[in-house]
Structure formats: C-alpha cells, structure tokens
Structure 1
C-alpha cells in the first residue's frame, strides 16, 4: 500500500477495480475496462470529490478531514454507498488517518485487504483477488461481492 494512492476523500485507490485492472493489465485477457493509476498519481485532486469541493479542486487541502465541513453531505453520501456495496468507509479511513497517522493506516489496509489464499490485494469493488480469482471474473464479468452465495 502506498500513501500516494490514498485519495483526499479517503478512498484507497490501490483497492479500486480500475487501478487493479491496470496493475494486472486485465484487458489483455479479453476485458475492456478503463485503467486508472489513482487520483493523486494522475494529478487529480479526487475523482469522487474534486469537482464538488472548491478547497480540493484548488489543492488547498490534502484530505477532506482538513476541512471544517468534514464530513460534508457529498462525502457522507459517497461513504454510505461504499459501506453498503464495497465493505469500506471513506469517513472511517479519514478518521483513522487523522487519529493514528498514515503509516498505521497503510499497515491496517495491507492486512485488511490481503488475499488469504495468495497474499495479493483484494479489490474493494468486487471482493476478488485478481492474482488468484480471475476465473470467477471470467465466468461473470460483472461479479460483485459474494454473488455465488446468493
């Protein structure tokens, strides 16, 4: 896990489907997905919040928790969707970083999202490790968390 992959909104871009697809060059396997190196590495302030927050758009703050409106209405809505669909909370991530620091956050994230089978990274958007669970994605290209159990 890298600090440069933690977006201002609290998203860990290293867990994102578009980042992991790029890392594994998944389009060579017949997929046609957008690749992304992460918000900060590509020079964006934040994909989710940058165009909705003047302070982020101007680069005045690095993380949303530095704003006196934290968490704002937009971040709360985004956080609610990610909690429900993707098993993560941007607000919790930001609170953890603010209270315990980036190094502790990166350590926690590496442990939380490590594949128990091979040690790779589990994608927050579908719950799959693209190193050892590609067969699931090939069977269902729109797979989401634990669909085979439904």
Structure 2
C-alpha cells in the first residue's frame, strides 16, 4: 500500500472496488465497473469530501485531522456509513495516522486487509479478494460482506 492512496478523508483507496477494478482490469473479465486510480493520484484532493470542504478543495490540508473542525458533520456521516456497511472507519484511520504515523498506518492496513489465501488486498466494499473470489462476485455483482 502506498501513501498516495490514502485520501484526506481517511479512505484507503487501495481497498476501494473502483480502484481494485482498475488494477485488476475487471472490464476485460466481464464486469462493468467504474475505474478510479485514487483521489490523490487523479488530482482530486478527496472524492468524498472535496466538493463540500473549502480546505480540501484548495488542497490546504493533506488530511482532515489538520482542520480545527475535525471531525466535521460530513465526515461523521461518511464514517458512519463506512463503519456500518464496509467494516472500516475513516475517523479511526485519521486518528491513527495523526497519533502514530502514515508509515505505521500503511503497515497496519497491509496486515488487516491482506487476503489469507493469496496475499492480495481484500476490498472494503464487499469483503472479497478480487484475485481469489472473482467467481463469488460474478454470481452476485452486488455481493457485500458474506451476503449471499
């Protein structure tokens, strides 16, 4: 995992279905998914928050925790959705980075999201490794975290 794939809101873009779809080129495998290289690599400061935050829109902060309003109402709502549906917390990610370091965070994420079978990266949006579990996704394109 790389630092450029950690969005200002705390999203680890390497866990995202759209990033992984691009990386694995799922269109060639019969999936119609939007591709995304990540917020920072594509020149967007933050897909989730940049349109409603002046500091992020201007690139004035690298991470939301640098703002005096952290965590803002919008980030709290986004965090709640991701904790409920996708087994991750953007606020926890940001607090860990702030209190420890981006390097320690990246190491922790590599361990947490590593596929036990192939060593690939598990997708936060569905809980699948797109190397090992592509057939599960093929059977149910809206598959999410052990839901058949």
Alignment TM-score, normalising by the size of structure 1: 0.98
Partner of 1:63: 63
Any gaps of 5 or more consecutive residues in structure 2? none
Partner of 2:88: 88
Partner of 2:107: 107
Runs of 4+ in structure 1 over 3 Å off: none
Partner of 1:97: 97
Q: Distance in 1 between matches of 2:91 and 2:11?
A: 9
State whether structure 2 residue 15 is matched by structure 1 residue 15: yes
Q: CA RMSD in A?
A: 0.5
Q: How many residues align?
A: 148
Any gaps of 5 or more consecutive residues in structure 1? none
Alignment TM-score, normalising by the size of structure 2: 0.99
Partner of 2:33: 33
Q: Distance in 2 between matches of 1:26 and 1:141?
A: 12
2:138 aligns to what SS in structure 1? helix
Partner of 2:48: 48
Q: Distance in 2 between matches of 1:41 and 1:90?
A: 19
Partner of 1:130: 130
Deviation at 1:24, TM superposition (A): 0.2
Deviation at 1:98, TM superposition (A): 0.2
